Structures are given as structure tokens and as C-alpha cells.
Amino acid sequence: MAATAGDAARILSRRDLSFLLYEWLDAAALTTRERFADHSRETFEAAIDTSAKIAADHFQPINRLLDENEPTFDGEKVTTPAPLKRALAAFAESGLTAAGQDYDLGGMQLPSVIEKACVAYVMGASVAAAGYPMLTVGNANLLVAHGSREQVDRYVRPMMNGRFFGTMCLSEPQAGSSLADITTRAERQADGTWRLFGNKMWISGGEHDLAENIVHLVLARTVVPGEPPLPGVKGISIFIVPRTLVGDDGRLGERNDVVLAGLNHKMGYRGTTNCLLNFGEGRFTPGGRAGAIGELVGAPNQGLAIMFHMMNEARIGVGLGAVMLAYTGYLHALDYARQRPQGRRPGAKDPRAPQVPIITHADVRRMLLAQKAYAEGSLALVLYCARLVDDQHSAPDEATRRRAHLLLELLTPIVKSWPSQWGQESVSLAVQVHGGYGYTRDYPVEQFYRDQRLNPIHEGTHGIQALDLLGRKMNLADGAAAQAFATVIGDTAARAGAASAEWGGHGAALVSLTARVGTTVRRLLGQHDPELGLANASVFLEAFGHLVLGWVWLEQALVAHDALGQRGLETGGAGGAPDEDDESCFYRGKLQAARFFLRWELPKVTPMLELLDSVDPTCHAMRDEWF
């Protein structure tokens, strides 16, 4: 497929983005905070314009090319396609890598919610290409929060201008989800420096030819002569291990002892290299001997705490990638459904009449409306969580910061897992709308489907998110996080009741489900055998996720309802004259997607809660030898 200039309108609906940012989340109000005082809605929009343009000009046109031309490894070096370098250079030159960073680091000091809106475009244009800057930003954020001034100067500044890229090295071949079992060692030397030895698996962006240097952040078990090592997660620290050593003057020095052992070949996401890396195998000998030289970040043995500190934002990032595959898939399917003639309406059987565009068929509208509900709903959730990140960091009062923190902790498993799960259903429907064409590599949805399948696996599998939500988050701070969420639901329901009987009814249903979820949690966690309750965690994750999305859609419906009301328009289901303007149609679409979610999707929660309340032992009792 030729690399032609792309089309931002097939990545993301700018009208929807504005609706979410300004009509729902009131992002403009953030400009009253000191950190964002130089900003205005205009500066926010300018940043989003820039990102949309780069996404359409540089990322979207190469997405298939990256899929068809995987990075190659000749035993010495990794080669990536030249257009990828140009796209990433354009992104770095725009300053977007530092969109959220402080001015004194060369950043734009944009709120998280606006940064995520910018990132949405590049992710939707090419999630694999976007992986490199996203990993780099995550790495930089960790160092800004926990690194020394010197570490920030040496590593973060070159990352912000695109000279260095970053990675996160957590997993090992024998330790994927179980970080307690990593065996990579960081040995303290007599001179106080550290040398690392071990193998890291699944390292995205772990080796490539795209930057002058790669800054690995590596979890390793600290070994200090004369001190007994701490077992499990307690003995893990986090280290900067640059591919090439960096001098105090910022110049690149010797090659560090980090080498690529092999590239993984994936179903999708092929443009992002994914590697097995060997640390300290002696292929290079910095300072005259084997061992990868690393710099400790923060205090020793705090590696996991530091890593988890950044995990919420990383998980929002994965969620956003999943959202954007669903979103661009939806827009492609919508476009196809409007163009493709096929069949006639039921009852209109005259075969000599022209065929109708397939969007005319109710079942195609169902598939499109489901995609709209999944994609726009999960984008709303991601932006809401990003808004919580802003409140957590920069809200003027402690109570708001605390509340935002608790809600964010609670919602993080959802914002990671829900778009991953339903985003795949969404892309599958996008394929289905295309029929046989959607199954061919001539249409972008085919790639979106393969790319999307990674999301329920990386950054904590679906099952890990479920255990986090049920086992940790629902009772966080003695249940204060869950209580904060119940209060949010109650507020929304009260506004819904004031708006109309239709929306008030949905609000009341959400309040009732929320109360019921509380009972379910107590029941599951109150089991004599804790494994029995946790054996149902995945169903709980899915039930709670649907409840959260039901709230997201009710919130959007209330905004749209008010907007139509201000125009003096009715908002009933059959409302809407055919000649309404684009704005009114937009709001009617929001109401209809909300109805779809609240009527077609939310009721799925009830049998899930009934199953959970029965504390069903089927899976728990199943034995290996019975399979």
C-alpha cells in the first residue's frame, strides 16, 4: 500500500474530542491553575492540531508499511524502515514528546488530559509507531519523579528532544506476571557503582536504529557484598542502564554490556521492536570488564514501589492505545458502510431497484452503534482518568487531590482492561462490517484486529487487573475509593433525575447496581477460603467495568440532553427532524449511543452479579486431571 498522506478524520472525531474535553470535562477550567496559567483553550487546540497533523501526515500513511516490514536483526544490528525514523523525528521536532513536562525541561506543561488527546491521534494513526515515544515519555516521567537532578539532565533532556529513547525492562523469561521471581542481579561494586547481569524478556523498543541511545529502566535484584539479599519483591531496585554510556558532559562514551538476544515476531504491533535482552553477558566490556553498568534510581530495594508509582499512567496509556484502535476501526467501518452498496431493505424486493448502502441495514447500524458506544465510551473513560491525573497533581485543595487519587486507583484496572476487551469486540465488528474485504490485508481494519489482541496481555494481563481490582482496589483506604465512586454515581443520578424520566431511570439503575456491587464485594472477600472469592475476580472486573461505562454514557447523555434543550429541541428516542443541523445530529448520536449502551450492554451486568453472589465454585473446584 502506497504511503499517502492520511486523514485525521478517520483517526478520531474532532467534534467528539471537543465535546469530551470542553463540554464534559471542562478542560478549559484547568487554565485557572498556576501550572497551566499560560494556557488557554486556544493553546490546547493548537497542540492537538499539531498532533493531528503529524499523525495524519507521518504516522497513518506508514502503518501498513510497518506491519509488512518488520524490524530485522542481522545478528549485529536491528534495522527499521526509514519512514519510521522520519515519523518519529517529526513527532520529536514538534515538541510533543515533552507535552506534559515542565517548561525548564523544554516541555509544554500541558495538562494530562490534553496530552492524552494529542497522543490519541498518533496512537490511532499507528499504534506501533507511537509505542516508541510513549515508552520514552513513561521512562522520562519516572526519572523526573524519582531520579536525581543529574540523572534528569543526563537522560531525560535528550529523551525530550528525541535523541534518546527509553524502555521499561521488567519481565524475564521465567517471570512474566510474577515479578517476585526475577533473577537479574545488580551487584554493587567496591567503588559504589552497579553492574547488572541477567536476561529481560518482552522489552518493547529494546533495540533499534531510531535514536542515538536507548535508556533502559531495569528492575534487578540488588546484591551488596556482606548483606543478605532480600527475597521476592522486597529485594528489587530499579536502575538506569543506557545502551551506550553517557559522560558527565552528556557525550556518548563506551558501549554498555547490553545486547539483543533476539526479536519476538508478533501477530500485530509489528512496528514496535520487542526483544529479549541480555545484560552483562560480556559481549561488551565497559570499563574493561563484563557487566552492564547501571545507575540506581531512588533508594535501594524500592524498585517495585517506584515502578508502580508510574503504573497508573502506563496503564492509561495502554487503555488509550486500545481505545484508538477501536475508534479508528469504527470510523473506517462507518465510511465503508456509507459507500458500499449491497442488498435492499426488507420488503423492498425488486431486484431491478439499485442496491442500498449497507448502513441502511438495521444490523449494520447495530454494529456501528456498538462500535460508537465502545470507542467513544472508552475514550471518554480514558480522558476522565487523565483529568483525574491532573486533579491528583494540581487541584488547589487537598480533598480534591485525595479524591482524584482514590478514584484513579480504583479505575486504573478498568481503564486498562475495558478498552482492551471491548476494543477488540469493536474492531471485530469493524471487520464484520467490511465483510470479506475486512479479512484481507488491503483494508486497515485487518491490521487493527491483530494489533489490538496484544492489549489484554501487556502491562498486566486481564487476570492481573481483575485481582488488582477485587483484591486490592475495592477495599482501598478502608473502602474510601469505592465510596468516592458511589458518590460520583449518586451525583450523576441526581442530575439525571432532574433532566428527564428516561435518563433518571438509567441513573436510578446505576445507583442500584452500585449498591449491589458493594454487597457482592463483601460476599466475595468474606469467604472462608480467599481463593474461592478471587476465583471469580475476572467476572467481577467485567461487571464493574460495564457499570463504569454505563456511568460514562449517562454523563455524556446528560451533556447532550442539555445541549439539545438549549436549542429548544426535544430529546426523546424518536425525536429529531430530518433537517436538523450537524450540531443537533451530533448530540442525537450521543443520546442514541448512550441508549444503546444502557439498554443493550448494561443489562449484561445482572447475571454476572447473580453468578458472583452465588460464589460459584465451578472453576475453583475444577481439577487438572479432569481436563
Q: How far is the CB of 247 from a copy of itself (least distance, A)?
A: 36
Cα torsion 173, 174, 180, 183 to 10°: value is -70
Which residue's entry shows cell 480522558? 383
Which of residues 45 and 73 has its CB atom nearest to a copy of itself in the complex?
Answer: 73
Which of residues 233 and 245 has its CB atom nearest to a copy of itself in the complex?
Answer: 233
531 binds a copy of itself (CB under 8 A): yes
Distance (Å) of CA 237 to CA 121, 182, 219, 223, 246: 35, 11, 6, 10, 21
Q: How far is the CB of 532 from a copy of itself (least distance, A)?
A: 8
d(C-alpha 29, C-alpha 41), whole Å: 9
d(C-alpha 117, C-alpha 106), whole Å: 20
Choose one: 41-49, 96-104, 352-360, 509-517; the region binding a copy of itself (CB under 8 A). Answer: 352-360
307 binds a copy of itself (CB under 8 A): no
Choose one: 102-110, 134-142, 339-347, 476-484; the region binding a copy of itself (CB under 8 A). Answer: 339-347
Instruction: Give the binding-site size for a copy of itself (rule: CB under 8 A).
Output: 106
334 binds a copy of itself (CB under 8 A): yes
525 binds a copy of itself (CB under 8 A): no
Q: How far is the CB of 367 from a copy of itself (least distance, A)?
A: 8
Q: Please confirm, yes or no, whether 23 is among the known catalytic residues.
A: no
Which parts of 96-155 interact with a copy of itself (CB under 8 A)? none
Which of residues 160 and 277 has its CB atom nearest to a copy of itself in the complex?
Answer: 277
Which parts of 246-305 interact with a copy of itself (CB under 8 A)? 264-268
Task: Report the sign of the C-alpha dihedral through residues 539, 544, 547, 553, in that order.
Answer: negative
Sole binder of a copy of itself in the list 40, 72, 79, 178 (CB under 8 A): 178
Phi then psi dihedrals of residue 507, to 5 deg: -60, -45
d(C-alpha 612, C-alpha 608), whole Å: 6
Q: How far is the CB of 245 from a copy of itself (least distance, A)?
A: 30
In one-letter notation, the amino acid at residue 47 is A
Sole binder of a copy of itself in the list 538, 542, 550, 564 (CB under 8 A): 538
Q: How far is the CB of 411 from a copy of itself (least distance, A)?
A: 21
d(C-alpha 503, C-alpha 555), whole Å: 10
Q: What is the three-class DSSP state of 255?
A: strand
Sole binder of a copy of itself in the list 123, 293, 369, 406 (CB under 8 A): 369
Catalytic-role residue among 187, 207, 459, 502: 459
Which of residues 57 and 616 has its CB atom nearest to a copy of itself in the complex?
Answer: 616
Which residue's entry shows cell 496559567? 37
Tell which phi-psi region holds residue 207, choosing left (phi > 0), alpha (psi between -120 and 50) or beta.
beta
Q: How far is the CB of 355 from a copy of itself (least distance, A)?
A: 6
Sole binder of a copy of itself in the list 34, 347, 398, 399 (CB under 8 A): 347
The Cβ-side half-sphere exposure at 28, using a 13 Å CA radius, reads: 10
428 binds a copy of itself (CB under 8 A): yes
d(C-alpha 228, C-alpha 601), whole Å: 54
Choose one: 29-37, 86-94, 408-416, 580-588; the region binding a copy of itself (CB under 8 A). Answer: 580-588
Cα torsion 427, 428, 430, 431 to 10°: value is 120
User: 182, 154, 157, 187: which is closest to 168 by C-alpha?
Assistant: 182
595 binds a copy of itself (CB under 8 A): yes
Q: Are 327 and 373 in contact (CB under 8 A)?
A: no
In this structure, the number of other CB atoms found within 10 A of the CB of residue 139 comes to: 25
Q: How far is the CB of 446 from a copy of itself (least distance, A)?
A: 5
Choose one: 80-88, 387-395, 544-552, 595-603; the region binding a copy of itself (CB under 8 A). Answer: 595-603
Q: How far is the CB of 392 from a copy of itself (least distance, A)?
A: 30
Q: Are 479 and 447 in contact (CB under 8 A)?
A: no
Which of residues 156 and 430 has its CB atom nearest to a copy of itself in the complex?
Answer: 430
Q: Are 213 and 252 in contact (CB under 8 A)?
A: yes
* Residues linked to residue 216 through DSSP beta bridges, in sequence order: 167, 241
The grid coordinates listed for 319 are 487503555
537 binds a copy of itself (CB under 8 A): yes
Site string for a copy of itself, 373-402 (x = CB under 8 A): ------------------------------
User: 515, 510, 517: which is closest to 489 by C-alpha?
Assistant: 510
Site string for a copy of itself, 452-491 (x = CB under 8 A): -xx-xxx--xxx--xx---x--------------------
Choose one: 153-161, 277-285, 425-433, 508-516; the region binding a copy of itself (CB under 8 A). Answer: 425-433
Sole binder of a copy of itself in the list 37, 82, 224, 619 (CB under 8 A): 619
Beta-carbon contacts of residue 391 (< 8 Å; ≥ 6 apart): 400, 401, 403, 404
Which of residues 397 and 582 has its CB atom nearest to a copy of itself in the complex?
Answer: 582
d(C-alpha 413, C-alpha 308), whole Å: 13
* Residues linked to residue 166 through DSSP beta bridges, in sequence order: 215
Which parts of 198-237 interact with a copy of itself (CB under 8 A)? 201-202, 231-233
Q: At what angle do helices 537-566 and 398-434 cross, to 10 degrees?
A: 90
577 binds a copy of itself (CB under 8 A): no
d(C-alpha 339, C-alpha 344), whole Å: 14
Phi then psi dihedrals of residue 370, to 5 deg: -60, -45
180 binds a copy of itself (CB under 8 A): yes
Which of residues 92 and 182 has its CB atom nearest to a copy of itself in the complex?
Answer: 182
308 binds a copy of itself (CB under 8 A): no
183 binds a copy of itself (CB under 8 A): no
171 binds a copy of itself (CB under 8 A): yes
Q: At what angle do helices 362-394 and 582-595 cross, to 10 degrees?
A: 90
Q: How far is the CB of 444 from a copy of itself (least distance, A)?
A: 12
Strands 164-169 and 72-73 come out as unpaired
d(C-alpha 433, C-alpha 425), whole Å: 12
76 binds a copy of itself (CB under 8 A): no
Active site amino acids: 459
